[in-house]
Chains A and B, each alone.
Chain A
C-alpha cells in the first residue's frame, strides 16, 4: 500500500533531517510514500489558539486532498499528526463546528473530506509486529551500547481518543523500535511531558526550564541521547535551556543508522548539538 506523505512546514526547514531520514527508512523497509500534492500548513498551535475554525479547516483541506488522491496520510510531525487526527475525530463525532469547517473548506476547494482516509504517524506504522520483525532482519549495524531515552512528548499520545495508537500514559512503540535497532532504551518518567512547543519564541526562558528538566531526567536515568518523533520537540530540546545538553535524535535517524543507510552525514551535520562524538565513542560514527 502506498501512503500519501504530509511533511508539514517544519520538515521542509528546521526538521529537514527528520524528513530525509524518514523517507530513507520507509523506503528501505518497503513502505512507499508520495508527498501530498498541494498541501498547506496545518495551523499548529497558533490556529487553535486564536480560531477554532482555522484549527479545523486547515487540516481538513489536507485530508480532503489526501482523499481526492486516494491515500492515507503519513504525518511525521507530531503537531501536524495530532491536528489532522483531531479535525477528523471532531468530524466523525458529528460536532457542529467540524461540520461547518468541512462544508466551508469544501465550498472553497471543491474537494470534500468524508473520513474515507486517515492520518497516521510513522511511529505507528513502523512499530506494528510485522514491521518490527522486518526492521530486525534489515539491521546491519546494531546500535550497541547506545543508551537512549525515548521521548514521545504530547501530541503523539494526546488527546488520547483522537491521537493515541497505544497506551497514552505508557507508550512503548519507540522503545520497541529502538530495541530492535540494537539500542538500549532507558526507563524514565518524563516520556510524555511537554517540551513547551510553540512558546519557544515568545517565552524562551520557560521552554528552557521545561527542556532542561527533560534532559536532566533523561541523564539521571542513564541516557546519553534522546530520541524524538516531532520537529518542535527536537529543536527545543537541542536549543532551549542550559542544563544537561545531550544529542537529540529523530527516531528515524537512529533506525537509519542501524540500517546503515547512506546520506546520514547530511542528517547529523544539521544538528545543533553534534551527535558525532557520542557515535564515534560507541564505534557507530
Chain B
C-alpha cells in the first residue's frame, strides 16, 4: 500500500487516540480481535485492519469503512486484546468523525441511531413504534418487518402510543448539552 505522507498521517492517529481513549499505536496486528469479531464475516474490513488504517493515518479509508457501522459494540475485541485496546471504542470514535464529516457508510444504521435517539430526546425513553416509523420514512423501506411488527403488537409487545417519562425535560437538556459540547 502506497502511503502518501500528509498532514492526516500525523494528526489522524492522534485524534483517534484522543477521542477513543485507546492506545492505538500499541497494536502489533496479532488479529485476536478479528478472530473473535462476530461481524468479521460480513464487513468490508476486519477490526485489526481498521486499527491499522488509523495507525497509518489513512483517514479517508478508515472513515468510509462499512465495518465501523457494523460493529455491534460486543467488546469481544476488547476482552481479548493483549495490548488493552478497545476496538469498539475505536469504531465509536470513527463513527462520530464520519458523522461530523457527513459521510456515514451505512445509511440505514445511521438512520436507526438517529431515530432511536430522537425518541429518547423527546420522551426520555425509547419508543419503538415511533422509532420504527421514523426509520421507515428515512430509509424509504416501508414493508420491512411489517409482519413482525404486527405479530409483536398482537402479543402486547409494542405500545402504540408514546408517553413522556417523568424527567424527560432533564434528559432533553442532557441532549442539548451533548450538542453544545460537540
A residues engaging B (CB < 8 A)? 9-10, 12-16, 37-41, 43-55, 57-58, 61, 65, 95, 97, 100, 104-105, 108-109, 154-155, 157-160, 168-169, 192-194, 196-199, 201-204, 206, 209-210, 239, 269-272
A209–B42 touching, CB < 8 Å? yes
Closest 3 CB pairs of A and B: A9-B126, A158-B75, A194-B74
- Given A13-B128, A199-B109, is A272 in contact with B92 using a C-beta cutoff of 8 Å? no
B39–A206 touching, CB < 8 Å? yes
A203–B109 touching, CB < 8 Å? yes
Chain B residues, Cβ within 8 Å of A47: 117
Chain B residues, Cβ within 8 Å of A12: 125, 159
A38–B166 touching, CB < 8 Å? yes
- Given A44-B126, A194-B38, is A199 in contact with B157 using a C-beta cutoff of 8 Å? no
Nearest B residue (CB) for A214: B38
B21–A159 touching, CB < 8 Å? no
- Given A9-B126, A52-B96, is A45 in contact with B72 using a C-beta cutoff of 8 Å? yes
Q: Does B152 contact A (CB under 8 A)?
A: yes
Q: How far is the CB of A241 from chain B (nearest CB, A)?
A: 12
Q: Give B143-157 as 1s and 0s: 1 = Cβ < 8 Å from A's Cβ atoms.
A: 011001001100111
A53–B177 touching, CB < 8 Å? yes
Chain A residues, Cβ within 8 Å of B120: 40-41, 43, 46, 58
Q: Give B125-137 as 1s and 0s: 1 = Cβ < 8 Å from A's Cβ atoms.
A: 1101000100100
B residues engaging A (CB < 8 A)? 19, 21, 38-39, 41-42, 70, 72-76, 78-79, 86, 92-93, 95-96, 99, 106, 108-109, 111-114, 116-117, 120, 124-126, 128, 132, 135, 144-145, 148, 151-152, 155-159, 165-168, 170-171, 173-175, 177-178, 181-182
Nearest A residue (CB) for B132: A201
Chain B residues, Cβ within 8 Å of A61: 167, 170-171, 174
Nearest B residue (CB) for A107: B177
A13–B174 Cα gap in the complex (Å)? Answer: 24
B21–A198 touching, CB < 8 Å? no
A14–B76 Cα gap in the complex (Å)? Answer: 26
B113–A50 touching, CB < 8 Å? yes
Indicate which residue in A14, A50, A202 contacts B108 across the interface (CB closer than 8 Å). A202
Q: How far is the CB of B84 from chain A (nearest CB, A)?
A: 10
Indicate which residue in B95, B135, B182 contacts A201 across the interface (CB closer than 8 Å). B135
Nearest B residue (CB) for A110: B170
A50–B151 Cα gap in the complex (Å)? Answer: 31
- Given A105-B174, A160-B79, is A202 in contact with B111 using a C-beta cutoff of 8 Å? yes
Chain B residues, Cβ within 8 Å of A100: 181
B157–A202 touching, CB < 8 Å? no
A46–B117 Cα gap in the complex (Å)? Answer: 7
A31–B175 Cα gap in the complex (Å)? Answer: 35
Nearest A residue (CB) for B151: A272
Chain A residues, Cβ within 8 Å of B151: 272
- Given A202-B108, A209-B42, is A40 in contact with B76 using a C-beta cutoff of 8 Å? no
B42–A14 touching, CB < 8 Å? no
Nearest A residue (CB) for B174: A57
Chain B residues, Cβ within 8 Å of A168: 79
Q: How far is the CB of B127 from chain A (nearest CB, A)?
A: 8
B73–A48 touching, CB < 8 Å? yes
A41–B174 touching, CB < 8 Å? no
A270–B168 Cα gap in the complex (Å)? Answer: 29
A155–B96 Cα gap in the complex (Å)? Answer: 22
A41–B145 touching, CB < 8 Å? no
A58–B76 touching, CB < 8 Å? no
Q: How far is the CB of A37 from chain B (nearest CB, A)?
A: 7
A14–B149 Cα gap in the complex (Å)? Answer: 10
- Given A49-B95, A272-B155, is A159 in contact with B112 using a C-beta cutoff of 8 Å? no
Indicate which residue in B124, B166, B178 contacts A51 across the interface (CB closer than 8 Å). B178
Chain B residues, Cβ within 8 Å of A48: 73, 92
A202–B112 touching, CB < 8 Å? yes
Nearest A residue (CB) for B129: A13
B72–A40 touching, CB < 8 Å? no
Chain A residues, Cβ within 8 Å of B148: 239, 272
Nearest A residue (CB) for B136: A201
- Given A57-B174, A159-B79, is A45 in contact with B73 using a C-beta cutoff of 8 Å? yes
A269–B157 Cα gap in the complex (Å)? Answer: 11
